[in-house]
Structure 1
Amino acid sequence: MTAGAVLALSVPAVAASTTKPVATANAPSSQPPIAERYRKADAFLRQNLAKLIVDADLQPAFTDDGKGLLYLKGKAGQRAVRFIDLATRQDRVLTDDAALAAKLSAALGKPVAADGLWLNRLGFDTAGDVLSFDAQGKRWSLSAKGELSETHEAEWNPALSPDGRFEIVARDFNLYARELKTSREVALTTDGAREQPYGRGIPQLADILKAGKEEPDMPVSVRWSPDGSKILTWRLDTRGVERLSITQQNPGGLYPRSFAYVYPLAGAKVLPQATRLVIDVEQAFKDGKAKPVALQIPSESLLYPADPDLGWIGDRVRVQWTERGYGQLVVYSADPKTGAATIVAREAVKPIVTVTSTQIQPQPELGGELVISERSGWAQLYLVKPDAPDGGAALTSGRWEVLSIEHIDPAAKSLVLTGVGRETDRNPYDRALYRTGLDGATPRLLTPEPLDHDTRVSPDGRWFVDAMSSPTQPTRTVLRDAADGKIVAELGRADASALLAAGFTPPEPFQGLAADGKTPLYGMIFRPAGYDPKRRYPVIDNVYTGPTTTQVPTEWSESVLAGGNSVAQIGAIVVMIDGRGTSRRGQAFRLPAYQNLGEVGVDDHIAMIKQMAEKHPEMDATRVGVYGGSAGGYDAARFVLRRPEFFKVAVASSGNHDLRLDKAWWPEVSMGLADEATWERNSNMSVAANLQGKLLLVHGDIDDNVPVTESLRLAQALIKAGRDVDLVILPNTTHAVGQPFFHKKLRDYFTRNLLDEAPPPLTTATAPVSAPVSR
């Protein structure tokens, strides 16, 4: 059996083509040997490409007091850690990669390479002139004298009262309060049980595997009132909830180990429930017993193994409640003494509240809640006050989208926000920064250049760092005045000369039309090094149809570092496309995905690939493959099953092939409370008999996001339908399957079945890769 796979239904190798092109002046050049192309694919993996780029990401970080800005500048291994005093604009070097690597090597007792040094969470104490950062899995401080020391940050302890008098202890599914000064304890609850614990959330699979038991130790789930007298907590109810099971075949010992765990599924009839309560701890110590107050807030279905929202605004409870199926989001304000609750804000957009385009943020200084809502058909900003929870004053308007609120100045009654699609001189996905007021006046554009703007606003709202770029224009990073957007300093410009010297072919943005022939769509084309327009290249679609996000990068660094650059090196053209059903272009653009994840996007992708091939005849639209991970894995399998005449080869990794078997929040964001017929229609298992081409399923055996049973059941459906299937289960692998073996299998599958060549043998020289981001 091939190393790395516990189960594999093998594909017979296809012999490499022996036909050689005739060498003429107009003939295409010969491709490098496949082994050389694989080496180039390794070299063009994200973490390796990043080493060839200078100053694309300066990692800017404002100091907590807003007085200064930290950033990194220079080539990897030679970067300087710089600090700007925002009052004087003095820019100085604090240290550099070489000095830090030497100090870290001495502190750790082992070599630390300067060119492999990753610094994160940069911080600077302006009073003490001390730099802080994360490196080598630890937190460090560097004094002005150059002394390096490991630091241990005090972790926030939710169990400890703000004044340090009390601590909440969870024991035997109940809660106890302990007075730290006297060690006296009082029971706050007494009727807790395994299926109905107090202050204990649902353990995630990763925690269960780490602990080796189904009931791992977990932090107590409480929130103290600001005055330290009361706690807000909740009670979990898992009665009637069916559990998933998983077997870890390779735990490190002789025997496999199996666990049953709670994972809220979209197809479950009963989900875990959460009910909230308040307990007056101070009064409990006076009386010798507690009197929990049940809040008059409906029980909430938990759509993911995470705690429900718990919060305080002053002396009142403030929580956000989500209705299953996303029919509404409701914000309650509750009296902790009586439990009486009132609705202060509510979102109930039809047919569904899309939570990835909706935000509700408490803003008591403004007298209510700031809400990003799609009620107009576009994500706009409103100020909703308690006397009209379903209404609110519109602070922005128009056919564009507010993505996020970056800064609020209650005194000046102004806000800084990020939006897309408002400016007509740029790509509708390009981010821009705006300043606006509470009067609904036209927002002021702070980033006038027709580019994508990745911004960070200082804590005091006076400044922001702007990394501006496009897929074809390298990043320029500047410091700007947040009052008017004026550039006050240039921090750096990306240098890609080493990347281009390595033979890198820059990606090409592409604009075309959807399958309806009228809706503008956007995509990206990735070509191999040594690309020859006289050749004919197969096409591989890197798919993720959303609908909770977009796929095609708009910034330069993400375009350059995209995984399609690596896959293309085998001798193919890779494309990315945002079809209808994806986000950031209004509700109507995304609604084709509603209860229709199995069909949305597929015909738009076909239409765009055909348009690309018409413009670029070197793209062979008769040889098209597709790959994707997670929801993209579902898409990849769906494309080859629903349009087998067009998509011939697919690699689907970590796919949620039956949405009912996925965690409830993700499918229900688009599917709502679908009926069984709708769920079945959207299941890949229901169309397994359509398979005509080649399909490779890849899944980690301990996937903690999408259960491995999804790929196993699709394989079973294909086998029952009399269809071929290739299946690789990666041992001890979670949702993130991006490891060297996976990349080799993906390349091999397209090399055999789309390029009609024999792949090179597996070697140990394959570079390690970073894990992909999980949805």
Structure 2
Amino acid sequence: MAAFPLLIAAQLVAAPAPTLRAPVVAPAPAQMPIAARYRLADRYLNDIDKLVVDRDLRASFSRDGKQVIYRRGALGQRMIMLLDPAIGQPREIVAEDVLRELLAKAVGKPIKPGELSFRRPEVDATGALSFEAFDKRWTYQTGALRVADEQPDKDDEGLSPDGRLRVIARDYNLYAVPAKGGREVALTSDGTREQPYGRGIPQMDEILKQGTEEPTMPVSVRWSPDGSKILTWRLDTRGVHPLSFTQQNVPGSPYPRSFRYIYPLAGAAKLPTATRLVIDVAEALKRGKARIVPVQVPAEELLYPADPDMGWQGKRIRIQRTDRGYGALTVYDVDPATGAATVTAREAMKPIVTVTSSSLRPAPELGGELDISERSGWAQLYLVQPNAPDDALPLTRGDWEVLSVEHVDDARRSLLLTGIGREADRNPYWRGLYRVDLDGSQPKLLTPEPLDHDVTVSSDGRYAIDAMSSPTTPTVTVLRDARDGHIVTELGRADPTALYASGFTKPEPFQGVAADGKTPIYGMIFRPANFDPSRRYPVIDNVYTGPTTTQVPASWNAAIGVNPNSVAQLGAVVVTIDGRGTSRRGQAFRLPAYQNLGEVGIDDHIALIEQMAKRYPYMDTTRVGVYGGSAGGYDAARFILRRPKFFKVAVASSGNHDLRLDKAWWPEVSMGNPAPEVWERNSNMSVAGNLEGKLLLIHGDIDDNVPVTESMHLANALIRAERDVDLVILPNTTHRVSQPFFWKKFRDYFTRNLLDEAPPPLPPVAPAPAPAAQSQ
């Protein structure tokens, strides 16, 4: 038997050496014309739901947790489905497009395919579907849609629990008015414009909608459960520096209009304050005069134009107060009769309490407050008892993070929570659902599959809807039993057949190390459709350095739905990176961002891009661009200003380029309230003179989140530094600048300056209509 292979070997040895020829290399196929690439970019930006069946089932529980209502099928053919977990057999309720057309006709507004949205769906015993949409509750059955008998509760905080009284705000004061008519009673009398009662800070959208700096607003009061008292507050804006804005293009008018408004600004010497108080309405009605009880909690500086945190817990009051610069979160128990306040929980961290990784929530069934705290260096869960506000009983431990408490089961003395980074066999950013028993035992993982689990728990804690996926694994949505995690049934799974048939190139997760050469960091690579590795591609970094969030998608829905897929179609490799300073990796990983937003992450991004290019030489690191919006707009400008030799082109939209011109909560949650020189060091204006490449600033003129003055200030600083800058102000546009003209300017900028190509020409000019004949 050995002779045969020996014979073959001898023949091979005796065979003459082949003649060597130069390998034939096929020429690279011609790149798609730029106009076609723009069209594909539009498709991946706007039409993902047309290309993926069952990408998002929009599954939700009924209010009692005993029904699951979701959608199945391709766009235009989706069915609204009902599953009763006790029965286990899903059934069809109505075609989505049928319901969409009926609702559009009923409200007199068009609803595009795929854009039917509703809340709190229920199906009754007769099969009738009810839901909330357009501020009404509707009922659908056997082809007919009508307004339901039951209507959703309006946010009428002024109405007493028994419906007999209403508190109204007028001329900066509060009045109690019988709901069915009768004598009103003044509850306050000394309110002024700068010190109103029960009135929050008017926001820009309401100012614009109503055309006045003093728009009508809901009264801000909280009725006691027995309807005898109200908990309210008094705003004080004295000495607060106002902002102003001008709407240049007023619908229906040739004239612009300007407004002044209050916006709590980071680092400001004076912020609006809130002082809480209790008013005995029942006594006021009897005596004709109200007794005001000041709540003995220090006035709170408001870091955002929203009501202060306060509410009733039975006959007592719970108040949560945030220190300026996020030095502490404090919970108080208040006696409404006297206003006396007792501290029942406190979360204080050095150097700062990061509220996106910390929270306090009442748990009266457990006799205290549930506290997600970083006191161990990781966001873990604790139970704080009222008699020991600075102490805490740890309910979880370890080098991982608790994200949220989903359900408290008092009878079983257990909790359901979502966490991240606990399991060593999976990506540290993947979420999981856990059951935690209060006996001190280890958390039990209810979602064992090594995937990201986007979980919704029913109101009774019995079941959980789990959309599980990874950036490379399409979503499978299942219903789980929340007691032990077993899968009750599969609701549906995403089908990307049409997406892949379009030439779509799957995003690739990438792991490397930070600029320190040792800390693991993660990113993602997005390549154009019909990717050709024989070409050289410029690199574009989609940046958002945090620190309150992460940028790299962890789920499949997020990975295929984010705009880098669209941007890559220009003919570039787009990357996203979570460097040091971002969230969900523990306090030490995020702390490089503290008082350092202007530097954090820059070198980690460069390090990981270089590691990517070492593995994939088609990534051309001599042509690197960067873009981002909001805080990412700040980052994009910062990157090109601080590392001008590496980043050559930047598009920064809606950027908060000087943190002192942004609402206080966002910068101060990372910066605290530092000295002026720290704010100045982190301002993009301070480094404007470094610009060498091409920078485009884009901002909406009525941005209601980051004032347009931010981009105007940076443009001015660049001009004064004799640098070049391009600026686009989008008319009648808020913080959300995504619109066709934005994307045209965005794409054209990178096409010209990074790809060195000409953008597609404008469409032909339509012929002007002939002038009407003039009669003599």
Pick the TM interval, shorter chain.
over 0.9
Q: CA deviation at 1:592?
A: 0.1
Letter in 2 for 1:637: A
Match of 1:12 in 2: none
Residues 621 and 110 from structure 1, CA distance in 2 versus in 1: closer, same or farther, beyond 3 angstroms?
closer
Q: CA deviation at 1:112?
A: 6.3
Contact 2:637 2:652 in 1 (8 A): yes
Q: CA deviation at 1:143?
A: 3.8
Match of 1:147 in 2: 144
Q: CA deviation at 1:736?
A: 0.5
Provide Cα deviations, 1:642-688, integer angstroms capped at 9, x if missing partner. Answer: 00010000000000000011000000000001111110100000000
Contact 1:140 1:148 in 2 (8 A): no
Match of 1:759 in 2: 759
Match of 2:244 in 1: 245
Match of 1:7 in 2: none
Match of 1:680 in 2: 680
Q: CA deviation at 1:80?
A: 1.2
Match of 1:577 in 2: 577
Residues 159 and 110 from structure 1, CA distance in 2 versus in 1: closer, same or farther, beyond 3 angstroms?
closer
Distance 1:99 1:138 in 2: 20
Q: CA deviation at 1:89?
A: 1.5
Letter in 2 for 1:671: M
Match of 2:61 in 1: 62
Match of 2:271 in 1: 271
Provide Cα deviations, 1:34-82, integer angstroms capped at 9, x if missing partner. Answer: 111111111110x311221111211111111222111111111111111
Residues 81 and 609 from structure 1, CA distance in 2 versus in 1: closer, same or farther, beyond 3 angstroms?
same
Letter in 2 for 1:690: N
Contact 1:132 1:139 in 2 (8 A): no
Contact 2:135 2:152 in 1 (8 A): no
Match of 2:360 in 1: 360
SS of alignment partner, residue 628 of structure 1:
strand
- Report whether the alignment pairs 1:449 with 2:449: yes
Letter in 2 for 1:365: E
Aligned CA RMSD, in angstroms, stands at: 1.7
Match of 2:483 in 1: 483
Q: CA deviation at 1:288?
A: 1.4
Match of 2:193 in 1: 194
Letter in 2 for 1:239: R
Distance 2:108 2:177 in 1: 42
Equivalent positions of 1:391-430 (< 5 A) are 391-430=391-430
Distance 1:656 1:108 in 2: 38
Equivalent in 124, 130, 133 of residue 126 of structure 1: 124
Match of 1:647 in 2: 647
Residues 763 and 435 from structure 1, CA distance in 2 versus in 1: closer, same or farther, beyond 3 angstroms?
farther
Query: What percent identity do the matched residue pairs reach?
Result: 68
Contact 1:511 1:522 in 2 (8 A): yes
578-587 or 435-444, which moves further after superposition? 435-444
Letter in 1 for 2:118: N
Provide Cα deviations, 1:466-521, integer angstroms capped at 9, x if missing partner. Answer: 11000000001111110110011011111000001111111111011000111111
Residues 442 and 241 from structure 1, CA distance in 2 versus in 1: closer, same or farther, beyond 3 angstroms?
same
- Report whether the alignment pairs 1:210 with 2:205: no
Contact 2:513 2:607 in 1 (8 A): yes
- Report whether the alignment pairs 1:91 with 2:90: yes
Distance 2:578 2:153 in 1: 44
Provide Cα deviations, 1:266-298, integer angstroms capped at 9, x if missing partner. Answer: 131100010000001001111110110001100
Letter in 2 for 1:465: I
- Report whether the alignment pairs 1:620 with 2:620: yes
Match of 1:538 in 2: 538
Provide Cα deviations, 1:673-719, integer angstroms capped at 9, x if missing partner. Answer: 11111101000000000000000000001111001010001001001
Distance 2:705 2:364 in 1: 36
Contact 2:229 2:278 in 1 (8 A): yes
SS of alignment partner, residue 378 of structure 1:
coil
322-331 or 84-93, which moves further after superposition? 84-93
- Report whether the alignment pairs 1:81 with 2:80: yes
Provide Cα deviations, 1:182-239, integer angstroms capped at 9, x if missing partner. Answer: 5221111111011000000000011101111100000000000111110000000000
Q: CA deviation at 1:118?
A: 2.1
Residues 448 and 674 from structure 1, CA distance in 2 versus in 1: closer, same or farther, beyond 3 angstroms?
same
Distance 2:575 2:560 in 1: 13
65-74 or 325-334, which moves further after superposition? 65-74
SS of alignment partner, residue 275 of structure 1:
strand
Match of 1:254 in 2: 254
Distance 1:750 1:603 in 2: 22
Residues 717 and 417 from structure 1, CA distance in 2 versus in 1: closer, same or farther, beyond 3 angstroms?
same
Residues 247 and 102 from structure 1, CA distance in 2 versus in 1: closer, same or farther, beyond 3 angstroms?
closer
Distance 1:283 1:140 in 2: 37
Distance 1:111 1:274 in 2: 42
Q: CA deviation at 1:530?
A: 1.5
Q: CA deviation at 1:438?
A: 1.7
Letter in 2 for 1:295: V
SS of alignment partner, residue 311 of structure 1:
strand
Q: CA deviation at 1:111?
A: 7.6
Provide Cα deviations, 1:439-458, integer angstroms capped at 9, x if missing partner. Answer: 33200000000000001111
Match of 2:289 in 1: 289
Residues 109 and 244 from structure 1, CA distance in 2 versus in 1: closer, same or farther, beyond 3 angstroms?
closer
SS of alignment partner, residue 325 of structure 1:
helix
Distance 1:722 1:301 in 2: 40
Residues 101 and 195 from structure 1, CA distance in 2 versus in 1: closer, same or farther, beyond 3 angstroms?
closer
Contact 1:304 1:664 in 2 (8 A): yes
Distance 1:316 1:533 in 2: 67
Provide Cα deviations, 1:14-46, integer angstroms capped at 9, x if missing partner. Answer: xxxxxxxxx97344322111111111111110x
- Report whether the alignment pairs 1:559 with 2:556: no
Distance 2:763 2:703 in 1: 26
Contact 1:97 1:117 in 2 (8 A): no
Equivalent positions of 1:294-693 (< 5 A) are 294-693=294-693
Distance 2:351 2:707 in 1: 29
Distance 1:37 1:24 in 2: 29
SS of alignment partner, residue 357 of structure 1:
coil
SS of alignment partner, residue 304 of structure 2:
coil
Letter in 2 for 1:735: H
SS of alignment partner, residue 743 of structure 2:
helix
With CA pairs under 8 Å and 6+ residues apart, which has the higher RCO, 1 or 2?
1
Contact 1:382 1:392 in 2 (8 A): yes
Q: CA deviation at 1:90?
A: 2.6
The aligned length equals 740
Letter in 2 for 1:145: T
SS of alignment partner, residue 208 of structure 1:
helix
Flag structure 1 segments of 5+ consecutive residues without an equivalent.
Answer: 1-22, 766-775
Q: CA deviation at 1:105?
A: 6.2
Contact 1:122 1:131 in 2 (8 A): no
Q: CA deviation at 1:550?
A: 0.3
Letter in 2 for 1:387: N
Residues 66 and 688 from structure 1, CA distance in 2 versus in 1: closer, same or farther, beyond 3 angstroms?
same
Report the structure number with the largest CA radius of gyration.
2
Provide Cα deviations, 1:543-601, integer angstroms capped at 9, x if missing partner. Answer: 00000000001100110111001011010010000000000010000000000000000
Residues 763 and 218 from structure 1, CA distance in 2 versus in 1: closer, same or farther, beyond 3 angstroms?
farther
SS of alignment partner, residue 176 of structure 2:
strand
Match of 1:18 in 2: none
Distance 2:111 2:386 in 1: 56
SS of alignment partner, residue 521 of structure 2:
strand
SS of alignment partner, residue 32 of structure 1:
coil
Distance 1:112 1:346 in 2: 47
Letter in 2 for 1:123: P
Match of 2:70 in 1: 71
Contact 2:132 2:152 in 1 (8 A): no
Flag structure 2 segments of 5+ consecutive residues without an equivalent.
Answer: 1-22, 766-776
Match of 2:10 in 1: none
Contact 2:63 2:120 in 1 (8 A): no
Contact 1:327 1:353 in 2 (8 A): yes
